[in-house]
Structure 1
């Protein structure tokens, strides 16, 4: 695609700091440019796209990331420090990192991502490209019509994603992927628990995150235009919401198992559990 004559050449659009040289603003959204470093983590990529982190995503210190998490998402100091220091420990790094290093498979990064393909066998780093088909499926998991005022007929603006919806998505992806160990399963739940607490809104008796915000953030790595910080997101709330996702996953798996049992009752006369088909 050719650029207008007034448009600066892409080669001049170098992200060496937090301010975008094209927009001239510190926190205006701008997608990554050639040479910028990005990871499979939408939270950190979004911070770089908005200039809370250096836009090139390179040479990031512990303090850079803590400050960006606080400024961009309004996380508490303790939560931001816990996530950042824990991440550096898992990465086995004592010095600064580029964003791509966070994609080192099996450290902070894990299979069964909600919007990224699993890491191919033999690869050290996970894919960073967003799979829009997985984004659509994630949004569809919230369009269950189980709550008043929800359902596909109302469009994205009327649909709120809650812990039950996240649980449904996590179960689906974990069925499609290699088994997660306990630590990475907790990381996977915690990622969405933060967002549920950060962006929760209410509509009538329903509470959750507008799926249009989820699509904007996880599908385009951009902060929702209509969102303004209303509170500091703390550690305890994230733990509570992660536990709610885990409980919802357990309940949904139990319900699925019971449905399978009803469809395939054991043949008790044989003395063994041979399922009838």
Structure 2
């Protein structure tokens, strides 16, 4: 018998299949207008995770699971196609989405001890969200909203509300006279640098390599351009995504895919600016309460 979560994720509308790279596996290319997205959320209401449900260090994936869209509500045994569908919904171009999904499923596959070297390049059939909490792969130190994995409380999956509050305080301090307070790219540079400096002091096992810094910049691009827009996100939306891990009622995915070249340029800019940010300013602002 099909589980409720499986029914929800399999009933999403999808467009016709087109040929090309990974066409047989990654055939759904559904994107939603604001009106269509609103109707989809009506049939996929927010339900917080229950006991035994798997969740990841990624607020976006957790949000989709909490609504039962693309990712099953229990966070377990999702497929390549479901993760691809999620990325397409969020505005990632199909080729990049295909490469990301394939890389993730190869990265997290557990080969048998007696397997051949070729098995290292085969992908897992399914993944669960808690697999993404394995330290040192996609999960990394210096998270915006999570503790480092190797220091107490040894939990890099659960959100830390105090860190989200630091982000909100940065935004409020730097936009005192604004009608609508937003968390923007400058706030991001300060908060990430503040977290970096804090983790250097607190985590003797800290590992934050170039690859992880670049991955962090890509995550920020997701926050400020796919969840937010144009280098910023409103505080209301930020709190719902990062604390509750739910879709705001007045939010919808971007209307058309982002340019890959534009995204790379933004990610490189984010990477550089975090490193260039005044550490004293970052440390002082990032620790305000």
Task: Report the TM-score, using the length of structure 2 for normalisation.
Answer: 0.70
**CA shift at 1:15, angstroms?**
5.6
1:211 equivalent among 235, 245, 249: 235
> SS of the residue aligned with 2:136?
coil
CA deviation after TM superposition for structure 1 residue 118, in Å: 0.9
**Counterpart check, 1:78 vs 2:95:** yes
Q: Matches of 1:121 and 1:216 in 2, distance apart? A: 27
In the TM superposition, what is the alpha-carbon distance from 1:246 to its structure 2 partner? 2.0
Q: How far did 1:133 drift? A: 0.5
**Partner residue of 1:186 out of 214, 230, 247:** 214
Structure 1: how far apart are the matches of 2:7 and 2:55?
15
5 Å matches for 1:145-156?
A: 145=174, 150-151=175-176
Cα RMSD between the aligned structures? Answer: 2.8
Shift, 1:117, TM fit? 1.0
Q: CA deviation at 1:82?
A: 3.2
Are the structure 2 counterparts of residues 235 and 224 from structure 1 closer, same or farther at C-alpha, using a change threshold of 3 Å?
farther
Residues 15 and 36 in structure 1, CA contact (< 8 A), matched pair in contact too:
no
> Is residue 105 of structure 1 aligned with residue 135 of structure 2?
yes
Structure 1 residue corresponding to 2:51, chosen from 20, 34, 48: 34
Count of equivalent residues: 228
TM-score, normalized by length of structure 1? 0.72
Secondary structure (helix, strand or coil) at the match of 1:161 reads strand
* Structure 2 CA distance for partners of 1:228 and 1:104, relative to 1, 3 Å: same
Question: Which structure 2 segments of 5+ residues have no match?
Answer: 10-40, 111-122, 200-205, 283-289
Residues 37-92 of structure 1 show CA distances to partners (whole Å, capped at 9, x for unaligned) of 11111111111111121111111121111112223x23222332233223234324
What is the CA deviation profile of residues 172-210 of structure 1, one whole-angstrom value per residue up to 9, with x for unaligned ones? 1111222401111111111111222224447xxxx6221
Q: Residue 233 and residue 100 in structure 1: after superposition, are their counterparts in 2 closer, same or farther (change >3 A)?
A: same
Alpha-carbon separation, structure 2, partners of 1:32 and 1:234: 34
Equivalent in 141, 154, 160 of residue 170 of structure 2: 141
Q: Which has the larger radius of gyration?
A: 1
| Corresponding residue number in structure 2 for 1:17 | 6
Question: For residue 247 of structure 2, what is the aligned residue in structure 1?
Answer: 223
Which consecutive unaligned segments of at least 5 residues does structure 1 have? 1-13, 258-277
Given that residues 197 and 237 in structure 1 are in contact (C-alpha distance below 8 angstroms), is that contact kept between their aligned partners in structure 2?
no
Q: Distance in 1 between matches of 2:52 and 2:62?
A: 14
Structure 1 equivalent of residue 268 of structure 2 = 243
Counterparts of 1:42 and 1:83, CA distance in 2: 17
| Cα displacement (A) at 1:227 | 1.3
Which structure is richer in relative contact order (CA contacts within 8 A, separation 6 or more)? 2
Structure 2 equivalent of residue 65 of structure 1: 83
Q: Distance in 1 between matches of 2:190 and 2:4?
A: 38
